[in-house]
Structure formats: C-alpha cells, structure tokens
Chain A
Amino acid sequence: MMGDPAVKLVGAFGSAFSHRVEVALRLKGVACELVLEDLRNKSELLLAHNPVHKKVPVLLHGKAATCESLVIVEYVDEAFAGPPLLPADPHARAAARFWAHFIDEKCMKSLWAALWMEASEAQRTSMAEAKRSLALLEQQLSEKSRFFGGDSIGLVDIAASGLALWLGVMEEISGVTVVTDEEFPALRRWARRYVGNEDVKRCLPERDRLVAMFSECKEMFRAMAMGSDAETVN
C-alpha cells in the first residue's frame, strides 16, 4: 500500500523462531524484506534493535522494533489487516495465549533436554516430561479441526511450528525419537498438514539444509544440555 512503512524482518536461516514471524507475515499478506543474520557475527542492526536479548527475530516496522517471536506475532496480528491469527472471543484468545506459552515453557525446554542430554536419569525425566506435555497438546487437536486454530492457522499453530519440521530434524541428528505416529497420531497429522500448507511452504527452510546445518551443531547442543537450563539456539 502507498505510504505504509516498509517491514523488515531480521532473522536467521533455519531459526524456528524467525519462521514463526515469517509465516505470520505471509498469512497476513504483508510483504517484508528478510535480513538474514550470521548469529556468530551479529550485525549492528540486530544489536541496536534488540539490545536486551541480542536475538533474532526482530521485526522493524516504521518506528516499531519488536522482539520475542510470539510477542511479534501478536503485533503482526494487531498492526496489519488480513485474516486474524487469534480468535475474536476473549476466552478463546486467552486459551490460545495459554497454549502458545505452554509450548515455549513446557514443550520446547523438556524436548531439548530429552534430545540432547546424555542417557541418564535426568534425560529420562526430561523425556517423560516432554511426552506428558506433548500429550496435553495432542488433546487440543480435535478430529474436526485442521489446525489448533480451527480451519486456519493461528497463534498456537505458529507457536508449535517447531514441532512440525525442526523436531524431526533434531530427532534424526540426535538419534533420539520422541514423537511417533503411534503415540501422537493427531500431532503427526497436524504436522503434515502444517508443512503442506501453501503459505507455510514458502517460509520453510529445506529439510536437507536444516539437517546439514544442525548436524554441525550436535556437539554444541550436547554441551549446552549439560548445563542447568538448555536454551534453544537462537
């Protein structure tokens, strides 16, 4: 549109968090310039706009510089016209926020530990926790809906996107399987539907490239998991 400020997304190739914002923008029909960071050599642009966390993604839109992927997704939903990413009803919105937060706080952390910790009591505990959390998520998917958001992709689907592609990649590289068709049939169906979506496909990195890229990080991930809090690479 004439006169609208340009949108720039500072992200990184292969980042599941950058993907969340990319897909949100695409679903809203917002054109953006994608700037890919080398996370080993962060640019002035990134450091200036996210001095607090120094992480990707960062969305630049006019005077706005927004950080933290899920905060950005809500911003995208509110700042731009286009199909809503959150439901209209306040209670349904609260539920969406709750589950998006649950995915980050409970699923991602325990998954990371389960994948990368060395075989031990602690790793087994993380695995059990990861499966418990994923089972709760599985329950949120009904037979009738295509996505967590219903018929169309919404906040919770976007939050869960790491489970649709990145999880499989990490399972392959680590040799640890967490999600199977038998134990999590609904989640697996959802994942296939998610990665098959036309809008999503345009912002998904190629699986082979992800495998190649993250294979090189295997030792680093294992070392990170040995520390008390394993944070996903960003």
Chain B
Amino acid sequence: MAGEDELKLLGTWASPWASRVKIALHLKGLSYEYVEQDLDNKSELLLSSNPVHKKVPVLIHNGKAICESLVILEYIDEAFGAIGPSFLPADPYERTIARFWAAYIDNKLAIPWAQAFKANTEEEKAEGLKQTLAAAEMLEGVLKECSKGKLFFGGDNVGYMDIALGGLITWLQETEELCGAKFFDTAKTPLLFEWMERFSGLDAAKVSLQDGGRLVEFAKGGGLR
C-alpha cells in the first residue's frame, strides 16, 4: 500500500482480546499507536469508533474503525496481505476449520472460564470449570490434528487459531488459583502445554501479553468485563 498507513489500537492493558490484536500487528511487523482506554470513563474516540458495543479492542486504520477481535484479525490478514505472514491458510476448508475453532474458543472456552473465576456460587464455579477443562481437552485433540506434528495450530507458523487462543494465555494461567484448576496441564494436555510455552516464548507474545503478577491482582479484584 502506497503512502502512510495510520494504525491506532484502542485497548486496555488487561484485555486478552486486545492482546490478540497486538500479537497480530507484531507478527505482521506493523507499527501502530496504542491508546490505553479507561472503561469506567470511556473516551469520545472509543464511543465514536465502536458505538454499537463501546468495547475494546478497536483498530482504527486510516480513520476507519474495525471492531471485534476476530474480525480485526481477519481484517489485518486481508488489508495487509502482502506484508508479513498470513494468519489464515489459503485453502477454503482449512480456513473454515480455523474459523470454527476460533469461534469455539470464544464461545465454549472463554465464556465458561469467565464464569468459573467470576462465579458467585460454588455450583456456578464448578460448572464453568467443568466446561473449561472439557474445552482444553477438545483443543488438545484439535492441536494434534491441525498441527500434524508441527509447532502450532497453524502448522510451521503461528496462525489465526494460535492468535485466538494465544491472546488468552496469561489470563488462563493467572486465574488457575481462582478457578481451582490448571488450564495448561502438562499431564492432562501435554501438547497444549508445550504449545503454550512455545507461544509465550515468541517476541510477539512477550510484548503483547500481560504481566502475570499485575493480572492476578486485577482478576482477584473482579476485573475482566
């Protein structure tokens, strides 16, 4: 693309959804301005860029806003197709598999997990945890199949599914105590555990994921919306 591309990311330091976008931008080698948002006192920019949900992350590219983390990932992949690695594979069926599992991560993992650590009753917590651990097992199986013995869900390189799950790593790790169980368990889900270590070691992850200690305090205070 000729000329200057202006990229601005509206996020919060704690948001795993914003982490997804940071990871993606880093992998593509794109520079951007990060603007930390105060969700208790929402900025004009946030409200005008995401009038529907008023949430982060929002990516603003040359003045145009894109919302919803997974939608943003696909956007980055398409708008900057000529730059850096592709997140989604070229084959339509493999793209579908990646999209299906990313949606699964959002609906069948993230939601019950949030329920587990925010739960008001022991019952709610137990149910959330049960579903979260079932999702971990499912993803272990998916990793075995999708990676075909390679390093990531995307194969040799980090792909869409890796970023979708990767953004959540610090949250999943640091809420183990609150939830009462490990998500990344080297005994129960060995492949997933290895994947997590590998992903966490990437530069993109190191600059985009949260500081664990700070996150634990935040989570205990009832943080994530």
Measuring CB to CB, which residues of chain A are less than 8 angstroms from any residue of chain B?
52, 61-64, 66-68, 71-72, 74-75, 78-79, 90-91, 93-95, 97-98, 101-102, 136
Contacts and interface: CB of A to CB of B under 8 A. Distances in A.
24 contacts: A61-B93, A64-B96, A66-B93, A66-B100, A71-B99, A74-B96, A75-B96, A78-B92, A78-B95, A79-B93, A91-B66, A91-B75, A93-B74, A93-B78, A94-B71, A94-B72, A94-B75, A97-B71, A98-B66, A98-B67, A98-B68, A101-B71, A102-B52, A136-B52
B79 interface: yes
B103 interface: yes
Nearest to B68: A98
Interface of B: 52, 61, 64, 66-68, 71-72, 74-75, 78-79, 92-93, 95-96, 99-100, 103-104, 138
A52 B61 CA distance: 36
Nearest to B80: A90
Contacts of B72: 94
Contacts of A101: 68, 71
A182 to B, nearest CB: 23
Nearest to A92: B64
Given A91-B64, A97-B71, A64 B100 contact: no
A135 B60 CA distance: 24
A67 B97 CA distance: 9
Tell me the interface secondary structure of chain B in the complex.
helix
Contacts of B92: 64, 75, 78-79
Tell me the interface secondary structure of chain A in the complex.
helix
A135 B63 CA distance: 25
A101 B75 CA distance: 15
Given A75-B92, A102-B52, A67 B100 contact: yes
B96 A90 contact: no
B96 A93 contact: no
B104 A75 contact: no
Contacts of A102: 52
A32 B167 CA distance: 39
Given A63-B93, A75-B96, A97 B68 contact: yes
B75 A74 contact: no
A52 B138 contact: yes
Contact of B61 (A66, A78, A91): A91
A78 B97 CA distance: 13
B99 A74 contact: yes
B96 A66 contact: yes
